[in-house]
Structure formats: C-alpha cells, structure tokens
Amino acid sequence: MARRSDHSREELQEMALTAAETLLDEQGGAALSTRKVAAAIGYSVGALYLIFKNLDDLCWQINARTLRGLMNALDQQVDAPTPRARLKGYASAYLSYAQQWSHRWALLFDHSASEGDEAPEWLQATIAELFTRIEADLAELHPEETPEDITLAARTLWSSVHGITQLKLRDKLFFGGESAAQQMTDSLIDRYLDGWTPSDASVGGVTK
Amino acid sequence: MARRSDHSREELQEMALTAAETLLDEQGGAALSTRKVAAAIGYSVGALYLIFKNLDDLCWQINARTLRGLMNALDQQVDAPTPRARLKGYASAYLSYAQQWSHRWALLFDHSASEGDEAPEWLQATIAELFTRIEADLAELHPEETPEDITLAARTLWSSVHGITQLKLRDKLFFGGESAAQQMTDSLIDRYLDGWTPSDASVGGVTK
DNA sequence: AACTTAACTGAACAGTGTTCATTAACTGTT
DNA sequence: AACAGTTAATGAACACTGTTCAGTTAAGTT
C-alpha cells in the first residue's frame, strides 16, 4: 500500500496527468484507461477517483493542458509584422501543433462530442481568447466593419483552418507532400482576405 | 431460437443496420453496442458476428449509408444556375444534412479516427466523387488554372466548409441564431472566390 | 498507548467486444 | 420414414472497461 501522503494531492494529480499523456501519445486515445493510468503511477484504481471525479474529468484536464500548449505555440507568432502574416503564422502554428500532438489534439475534439456535461467554462474562455487574437488582426485590416462582422469573419476563417487541420490529420484525403496543408491555409487566408471587400459584408444577403 | 433462414443474409444485414441507425439517432454513438443491436432485431450477439466482421465493420457500413445519403442531398443542388450558386448550394446541403443526422455524421468522422485498419477504398472513392463535383465548378470559374491548383482549391474550400460544419455541430462556439453557420459558408465562398485571382495561385510562394 | 481521521486498496458490479463449443433446424439421401 | 450432413443460431465464457465502497492501514492527536 502506498504510504499516505507520499505525494501531495497536486503531485499525484500531476503524475497522473503526465502518465495519461504518455499513454495517450504512445498508444492513442482508445488505450487510455483508469487502470492503466493507476498502474503507471503505482497507485490503485480507487486512488484515481480521489483525485479526479471520473475519467471524463481526467480527459478534460488533459485537454486544458493541450489547449494551453496550443496557446503558447500561437503566442510565438505574435511578433509577425503584418496582420496577414500574423494570421498565417497562427494557422501554421495551429497546424503543426495539431500534427505534433495528434492524439492529444484528437482527444480535445472527440471528447467534446461526448454529450455528458457541458464543456467547462474555462474551455470556452480559452477559445474566446484565441478568437480575440484573430479578431484583433482582422479589425486592423478592416476598421470599417462592425464588431459583429469581425466576429463572424474570425469564426469563419478559423473554422476553416480547423477543418483543414482536421482532415489533414485524419487521413489521406490529401495528396501532395508535407507542405500541402500549409499551402492550403496560406492560400485560404490570402484569398479570403483579398476577397473581403467592405461592400459585401454588412448586409449578408446574396448579392452575387 | 430464431428459425434458420427466417431472414436471408441481406434482410438480416438490413435489419441490423436500420436498428443500429435508430439506436444511433436516438441515443448517440456511445450507446451503440453489439448486444443492443442484437436485441433490437431479436437475435443473439453471436448472430451479428455471422453478418459483420465486428462492430467496426458495422460502423463502416452505417458510414457508407450516411455518405450515400449525403451525396443524394448534394445531388439536389446540381441544377443551380451558376458555379458559385452550386458551390453555395452544396455547402448549405452539407450543413443541413450534418445537422439533421448529427449522430450519424459524428460517427462518420469520429470513426475514421480509430486507427485499426484503413478507411475502406469505397469511402475514398465516394469522397473523391464529392471533390470531383467541387472541382468541376471551380474549373468552370478558373479555366486558366492547372488541374493541380483546382484540386488544391477544392480541398481547401471543402475542408473549410467541413470545419464550419464540425464546429457548428459540436458546441456553442457559435453565437447568433440558426442561420449563422449558413451565413459563414456563404461569405466564405464569396470571399474565397472573389479573392481568387489567377496571379497568386500557380506559384504558391508568399507574395503578399 | 489509545483514539481519530483520512489515504488507500481491491473486490465487486454492470457493462463492453469477441469467440466458439454446443444445439437446433433445415436439406438431401437412402 | 429414418438417418446423416450441413449450417444458422445460440449463449456461456473471456478479457477488458468505468465506477463504487466496505475495509484496511498509516499518520496525526490526545
């Protein structure tokens, strides 16, 4: 039996999360089980339930760390000279982060699908922070637009980057080499921004 | 014991798939289990394994039907007068199909993530068919582009529509009402097409 | 040393996918 | 009509899963 207070609550939690991430990275999300995580840190199954509400809770905490890592990666792009370059940098960082941590990234999105309880509000907040970055750059390019239109544009553009990332990771729908996805986000951003003329935004009707 | 040949192989398969789809629609992907499907059609678990290789196989066959349904929905948009209207119609149909059959749609994409065996080649083929439709419209708009650039553009644009769809289904990252996602795909297509000038495509370098 | 408290365990429960020896029902032959 | 052959169908069994909780054990307190 593990000695009481061999490790503090925080240490134990950290150990468990790290072990779970290793398991995830090496064997994928399907291999993530309470018993395996418990074994990896040298505790019994029951002990995990003193630290985490359940497996879902553990997954959410992994997702929190994943998301934080993503934000860090994005932050390194903040020095790019122009809004356009910054947006491309974000997209590129997003893409490579997702590829580097493919299993963690998959967990982040597959897990939100499990319809038990809501996504915790910190997740919402972190994502809002990401969108704020995008919106800032878009607003700089289009100061004449209303905040609502900027928001809509940010979500449109970023959903698109997300879609490219997701399909890139999942399969061989993609021909071409390593750079295909990168090329796609670049051209997407270029064309979207070039096609964004003030006239067509505010109404929303089909005018073409 | 169910009488031998009460139902033919094909009938049984059809019954099982229909039962599984009902289960999926009503209770979501997590509730899909071999025992439940077997019970729903009045057979034992083992009988399912005479019809399907395993649960994965059953899921793939559901996915095949889902994809076929999607293609049907897209086909109803083929009469739109212009390529641009056709592309918007496809996107709109894609979006509403995914929303109507949200659980089936989720299965289609979550399942490709399970990294057992490859996605069957018919799936690849059906998806290729979808992309061919998009490419045809894009080629009509940009006859001067090479096939490679058309392909790249089709995948870029469609990954984007896919991304918007996915995020729309998953959560409340989306403000606004029912029409927000529709508005997003419309403006995406408009801006992407408007920003697509022949000069910036063939090289692929960063020129902006 | 005795008592209290809380950390920790692991057996147990209900569920999962999958297999396979056994059984039941049909088919064809004598 | 009786027997053998074939095969559809079963359901118990195995190894796993998440989750709970009565018990056990160690640490802190009096």
Q: Which CATH number is B21's domain given?
A: 1.10.10
| CB A187, CB B201: distance < 8 Å | yes
Residue A206 covered by a domain: no
Closest residue by Cα to residue B168 from B95, B73, B92, B94: B95
Residues of chain A with pLDDT under 70: 1-5, 112-119, 171-176, 199-208
Chain B residues inside the 8 Å CB shell of A154:
none
Domain range enclosing B2: 1-52
Average pLDDT over residues B49-53: 96
Q: What pLDDT is attached to residue A172? A: 60
Question: Is there a single domain that holds both residue B109 and residue B168?
Answer: yes
Question: Is there a single domain that holds both residue B48 and residue B88?
Answer: no
pLDDT tens digits for range B91-138: 999 999 999 999 999 999 887 666 555 667 777 788 888 999 999 999
Q: What pLDDT is attached to residue B170? A: 81
The beta-carbon neighbor of A188 closest among B30, B156, B184 is B156
Could you tell me the distance in Å between the CA of residue B82 and the C1' of nucleotide D2?
76
Residue A204 covered by a domain: no
Closest residue by Cα to residue B161 from A176, A105, A156: A156
Question: Is there a single domain that holds both residue B145 and residue B72?
Answer: yes
Question: Is there a single domain that holds both residue A25 and residue A61?
Answer: no
Question: Is there a single domain that holds both residue A7 and residue A98?
Answer: no
Separation CA A28–CA A107 (nearest Å): 9
Residue B64 covered by a domain: yes
Q: Is the CB of B4 under 7 A from strand D?
A: yes
Residue B43 covered by a domain: yes
| CATH code where residue B174 lies | 1.10.357.10
DSSP B12-41: HHHHHHHHHHHHHHHH-GGG--HHHHHHHT
Question: Is there a single domain that holds both residue B72 and residue B167?
Answer: yes
Question: Is there a single domain that holds both residue B105 and residue B190?
Answer: yes
Chain B residues inside the 8 Å CB shell of A172:
124
Residue B47 covered by a domain: yes
Question: Is there a single domain that holds both residue B109 and residue B188?
Answer: yes
pLDDT tens digits for range A89-125: 999 999 999 999 999 999 998 876 665 556 677 777 8
Domain count, chain A: 2
Bin A196: left if φ > 0, else alpha if -120 < ψ < 50, else beta.
beta
Question: Is there a single domain that holds both residue B48 and residue B60?
Answer: no
Q: Using the predicted structure, report yes or no on whether residue B24 has a pLDDT greater than 80.
A: yes
Q: Is the CB of A4 under 7 A from strand D?
A: yes
Question: Is there a single domain that holds both residue B81 and residue B115?
Answer: yes
Q: Is the CB of A7 under 7 A from strand D?
A: no
